[in-house]
Structure 1
Amino acid sequence: MSLIQSLKLVLSPPHRAATPFLAAGTLVGLLGRATPWRATRFLGNAGIAFTAFCLYFFRDPKRTPPPGSDLVLASADGRITSVSLVAPPVALEMGAAPVWRVSTFLSVLDVHINRMPVAGQVTKVAYHAGKFLNASLDKASEHNERNELRLTLADGRNIGVVQIAGLIARRILCFVEEGDHLEAGERFGLIRFGSRTDVYLPPGVEPLVTEGQTMIGGETVLAKL
């Protein structure tokens, strides 16, 4: 990534989900800095630091999906922690046969906007309350708070996408509902603050990525249909 690309990424405007956090941090910062007392000035500095962190965390950069209707794209920025054959989540009703699952871990330094891996219709949304284990652990896919989506392609095949809350994350946001049709690379959700996103490929489709690889949501190709 070039210096200009890095600057554009860091300086990307925040998603609207950041509004209440930015407002609270700014208010605390202004009120704290406006008083002569050391304790409140410290609080004001903390408010300013929190505001700066939220501006960085909620970055919402523009992404340009590569051309091709047969591509499965990364649903999130981050590092791949697992590429394995597992059964899809039961709630998504995608069968019990193992399929390839690609798990991407998002640290607090990554962009946390989730994007559609393919063009298709949202045919199932299933939310599960749960624990807040380290999202990089394999058991987080079963025990952590998570939101599961089934995407149905034009040819009838299904892809599963799961948003998983992590050790610090305490809120999963999903912007879509059952029946919505989205294009590949479109935003569908966000997780704050630190999380994981799993993509379950259709039967017979193999991943083109490996563990440890860095993903760019909406742009990196995970597989070909």
Structure 2
Amino acid sequence: MRLHREGKTIMITTGLVLLALNLLAYFYLFSDNSTAITLLAIVSLILFLLVVQFFRIPTRPLTTGETQVIAPADGKVVVIEETVESEYFKDRRRQVSIFMSPLNVHVNRNPITGVVKYFKYFPGKYLVAWHPKSSTENERTTVVVQAASGTEILFRQIAGAVARRIIWYVKEGQPVKQGDEFGFIKFGSRVDLFLPLDAEIKVNIGDVTRGGVTVVAELPEKE
């Protein structure tokens, strides 16, 4: 396991603030109360470990396959439905949404290999991530990758009530590889996938996904 570069500043700042607070308590606030000092130290350690675990990148064997769409994030499947994707495709698609809690790994990975055909960032609100309007009104990014077969997959990072910063590492025209990082969302949110109607969905509502590992859907082979 390693720690994500996006967490460097937050982890250092959190560590210094907690250290200063504990030193202040030890020498001034609770100098004559060993129980309070011990409790503060324990709480501070737990808080720091929670921040550190948020930025972890576990070592795991990634799944690859030309016809497989891999989960872009760790989390829980909260939506599987046929819907109209109105931003790019402007037609009916199969939507799969993965909710990411603050305890999940927050690296976002490319679900397929291909070329980025479309990218756009939208500022917006911070509704709770499971709110029906969060995918169209919250801060978000939209990425469309076209596979070598010509199939296009749209995936969308969506900020939530807790997540207040979306980070991306892709741009239009860039080739991307399945399983590589395309972004990061700080402190919980969700990722939506929009798939062709003939895609065979391999997950169910409530399933727990692992980014870069879980097969979300199987695409038909192109003749």
Q: TM-score range by the shorter chain?
A: 0.7 to 0.9
Quote how far apart the aligned CAs of 1:187 are: 0.9
Q: Is the 8 A contact 2:63 2:179 kept in 1?
A: no
Shifted more, 138-147 versus 27-36: the winner is 27-36
Equivalenced residue count is 211
Larger Rg: 2
Quote how far apart the aligned CAs of 1:32 are: 2.4
Quote how far apart the aligned CAs of 1:204 are: 2.2
- Alignment of 1:178 with 2:172, yes or no, is yes
Q: Is the 8 A contact 1:33 1:44 kept in 2?
A: yes
**Of 37, 52, 60, which aligns to 2:28?**
37
Quote how far apart the aligned CAs of 1:62 are: 2.7
Structure 1's consecutive aligned runs of 4 or more residues displaced over 3 angstroms after TM superposition are 39-50
Q: Which amino acid aligns with 2:3?
A: P
Quote how far apart the aligned CAs of 1:152 are: 0.9
Superposed counterparts of 1:83-94, under 5 Å: 83-90=80-87, 93-94=88-89
Instruction: Note the residue ranges of structure 2 that are not aligned, 5 or more in a row.
Output: 32-36
Superposed counterparts of 1:199-210, under 5 Å: 199-210=193-204
Instruction: Note the residue ranges of structure 1 that are not aligned, 5 or more in a row.
Output: 1-11
Can you list the C-alpha shifts for 1:184-212, whole angstroms capped at 9, x where unaligned?
A: 11111111111000011134223121111
Give the share of equivalent positions with the same residue, in percent. 35
CA distance in 1, matches of 2:99, 2:8: 25
Aligned to 1:8: none
CA distance in 2, matches of 1:63, 1:111: 12
Normalised by the length of structure 2, the TM-score is 0.87
Higher strand share: 2
1:161–1:89 distance in 2 versus 1, CA, 3 Å:
farther
Quote how far apart the aligned CAs of 1:38 are: 2.1
Quote how far apart the aligned CAs of 1:39 are: 7.3
- Alignment of 1:78 with 2:75, yes or no, is yes
CA distance in 1, matches of 2:5, 2:217: 31
1:224–1:31 distance in 2 versus 1, CA, 3 Å:
same
Aligned to 2:4: 15
Q: Is the 8 A contact 2:64 2:179 kept in 1?
A: no
CA distance in 1, matches of 2:105, 2:155: 17
Aligned to 2:95: 101
CA distance in 2, matches of 1:123, 1:39: 59
Normalised by the length of structure 1, the TM-score is 0.86
Q: Is the 8 A contact 1:21 1:51 kept in 2?
A: no
Quote how far apart the aligned CAs of 1:97 are: 1.7
CA distance in 1, matches of 2:155, 2:30: 46
1:39–1:204 distance in 2 versus 1, CA, 3 Å:
farther
- Alignment of 1:113 with 2:107, yes or no, is yes
SS in 2 for 1:37: helix
